[in-house]
Amino acid sequence: MNTSPAGTAEVALRLHVRDLTPADLAACGWAGSVTHLRQVAVELGRASVGHVDYLAVCTAVDLPVAIGGVDYRAAPGAGVLWQLAVVPALQSCGLGTLLIRAAEERIRARGLRRAELAVEEGNPRARALYERLGYAAFDRRPEAWDEEAPDGSVRRYETVCVLMRKELPVGAVH
């Protein structure tokens, strides 16, 4: 750890990216509600048959601090990134960039040359990240999913998302 005269500290983390496993879900409560994590478990089942990849950025002790999926069946000719999440205390530290670049490498490994994602119109921080990484808006559409309230009740959440895409150059490694 480095400390500056102003009293701020810099901490370096050793990170690696691997597939998320069902055993990791107990440590991923920061990523969403119990309802959300049940859905992630369903997606891990799809990963086991090759329909999706679900990745985890992990610390040196193998603790997930960022997770997200790539769906290969959602858009013809593309890998669609979704359910991207970073531990709140580590947001804006480069973990989202690391996760997205690893996902793009998985997409390229499948022989696909395009990545797509959807971002809520009300999430300018995420959209700015995607734009910095080369994604461009091409459409918008309404989206909805089940969301768990603090009291455990489930309601339907509705929003509008901006659809973004990025052409992935052949053989490019970032």
Structure tokens at 82: 């979704």
Tell me the pLDDT tens digit for each residue of 21-45. Answer: 999 999 999 999 888 999 999 999 9
Q: What is the pLDDT of residue 171?
A: 64
Q: Tell me: domain 14-167, CATH 3.40.630.30, correct?
A: yes
- How far, in Å, CA of 65 to CA of 150, rounded? 22
Domain ranges of the chain: 14-167
Q: What is the mean pLDDT of the chain?
A: 93
- How far, in Å, CA of 101 to CA of 174, rounded? 7
- How far, in Å, CA of 82 to CA of 163, rounded? 11
Structure tokens at 174: 């970032």
Q: What is the pLDDT of residue 26?
A: 96
Which whole number is the average pLDDT over 148-172?
Answer: 90
pTM, two decimals, is: 0.89
- How far, in Å, CA of 1 to CA of 13, rounded? 10
Percentages helix, strand, coil for the chain, rounded to the nearest 5? 30, 35, 35
Q: What is the pLDDT of residue 100?
A: 98
88 pLDDT above the threshold of 60: yes
1 pLDDT above the threshold of 80: no
**Cα 57 to Cα 85, 95, 104, distances in angstroms:** 10, 7, 14
> According to the 3-state scheme, what is the secondary structure of 1-51?
CEECCCCCEECCCCCEEEECCHHHHHHCHHHCCHHHHHHHHHHHHHHHCCC
